Amino acid sequence: MTVSLVWLRRDLRLADNPALAQAKANGRPILFLFHLDSERLERHDVDGIHVQWELDCLDRLRQEIERKGGVVLFRFGQILNTLNELHDHYKIHTIYGNEESGLQWSWNRDKSVTKWCDENSVLFEEFPSNGVIRRLRSRDDWKALRDRRIDSSLVEAPQRIRSPDNVQSDVIPHAAELGFEVRELQQRPEPGESAAMDTLFSFLDERGRGYRKGMSSPISGEIMCSRLSPYLSTGCISIRQIFYHTKRKQRRIKTNPRSAENRGWSGSLSSFQSRLAWHCHFMQRLEAEATLDEQSMNPELDALLERPFDEEKFRAWSEGTTGWPFFDACMRYLTATGWINFRMRAMLQSVASYTLWLPWRASGAHLARQFLDYEPGIHWSQIQMQSGVTGINSVRAYSILKQSQDQDPEGEFIKRWVPELTDVPSEHIHEPWLMSEKEQREASCIIGTDYPGPIVDEKVTRKEGISQAYKAKADAEAKLRSKLVYLVHGSRKRSRFQKASHLK
């Protein structure tokens, strides 16, 4: 008797899981394996919050799988040791998995599994389950291929699962038992596949109406953004399921867009669909280049920018003690909850790269460890974009003062996350260092004692950063590289890149 092994990686769901559907169709008893690579203990971009979230999602999946008659095995260590052990015991016929686009270490792991399968006469079948096109020949073809893939029929969850006789699921451990440090998150979402669907429907039924306008502020974004990213990162929901239900809602709206019930939805849903396409677009970048956490897309540009590591600045940036109230509130909120909206993520990164001139690898790794939804393909593409090291994106250095005044005019968010400033009046909340000594005393906030003064003069250093970035971008070798970067990674929608003078 042989078994099929369904290798769970970042696809912790039963519905729309092509690898599982194929294993089921082939009729052999199925074992599910979740293998946690011990290598992740050492990685600069991994935090215990990621591992604990995965394990909690896995545990919910285990319960569902057991209800249907299946079992889930859990192993921690080196994948080949695990495969040897399981093969000795159960005789694996085929390993089924959904394609994963990860960083170089995960490619290396997958390659070693392919080799092991060849050597042990085990079949290894992988299936596409998102908008990433493996072995894509040209970026020009990507959008059409992605759109076709995303719009194809969903795969149903199996009703029953047959497992080998006399095997039981393993107990899923806590990440701390495996040596990961796990910090407690406030407002952490409910794990698992059914919580992911509930989150999608609460967005499509209610929360998403104000998405287009509400997404930019950390206050409204908390409710009006979909909050699906942690579920996507563990694969508790697929991008195709989200696309499918969003499209259905769009069709319904179209029949009567002006009715009170439908008003506001149309723009919000089309903005949301664009974000889903961006998800796939950035994941495709990692598929083409698995070293985005180490190597900039445009190394010539990166070398010209020469950003040195400054410990004091890095500490203030990462701990949210820069002396810029809105910035500090955003960093502290992120650290406490594991999530913040897109605009604020971009600001956090661009302040590191332009205003404080810190190296992007270190700030990128710090942010990766804070995001519960860490997704390397999106993350490192965005880190590089917001640091000006791709050569194909415009220089975007966010002004903290402008974001503070636009997104939190009364300082409500600031006061929630920076309690040192609770009694500072609204007119001073964005720049408390401008208060007179008397005003500081009245606000119980002495700058330099109760709350730091700004670490640098934002107006000066941000301007310097922008000017350095433009200067480097104009360099002949960097421009040449930008052309190549565009060919491999550039969005074909944005034809201005093709026309832009710096690429000529």
Ligand X SMILES: Cc1cc2nc3c(=O)[nH]c(=O)nc-3n(C[C@H](O)[C@H](O)[C@H](O)COP(=O)(O)OP(=O)(O)OC[C@H]3O[C@@H](n4cnc5c(N)ncnc54)[C@H](O)[C@@H]3O)c2cc1C
Q: Could you list the residues that contact ligand X (CB under 6 A)?
A: 215, 225-229, 232-233, 275-276, 278-279, 282, 341-342, 345-346, 349, 371, 373-375, 378-379, 382-383, 386
Minimal distance in Å, beta carbon 378 to ligand X?
A: 4
Strands 92-98 and 3-8: parallel
The residue whose two tokens read 């690579």 is 37
Minimal distance in Å, beta carbon 385 to ligand X?
A: 8
CA distance 6 to 65: 12
The residue whose two tokens read 């199996």 is 158
CA distance 26 to 366: 44
Minimal distance in Å, beta carbon 229 to ligand X?
A: 3
- Tokens linked to 177: 């038992």
In terms of CB distance, is 230 or 323 closer to ligand X? 230
- Tokens linked to 344: 């604020």
Minimal distance in Å, beta carbon 396 to ligand X?
A: 10
Cα–chain center distance at 361: 16
In terms of CB distance, is 346 or 480 closer to ligand X? 346
- Tokens linked to 200: 């999608």
In terms of CB distance, is 395 or 480 closer to ligand X? 395
In terms of CB distance, is 34 or 360 closer to ligand X? 360
In terms of CB distance, is 211 or 417 closer to ligand X? 211
In terms of CB distance, is 221 or 411 closer to ligand X? 221
CA distance 117 to 111: 10
CA distance 230 to 237: 10
Minimal distance in Å, beta carbon 428 to ligand X?
A: 29
DSSP type of residue 178: G
In terms of CB distance, is 282 or 324 closer to ligand X? 282
Minimal distance in Å, beta carbon 463 to ligand X?
A: 21
The residue whose two tokens read 């970048």 is 285
Minimal distance in Å, beta carbon 240 to ligand X?
A: 13
Contact residues for 419 (Cβ-Cβ < 8 A; gap 6+):
none
How far are the Cα atoms of 135, 150, 151, 242, 412 from residue 144, in angstroms, in the given order?
A: 15, 10, 11, 19, 44
Return phi, psi of residue 77, to 5°: 145, -135
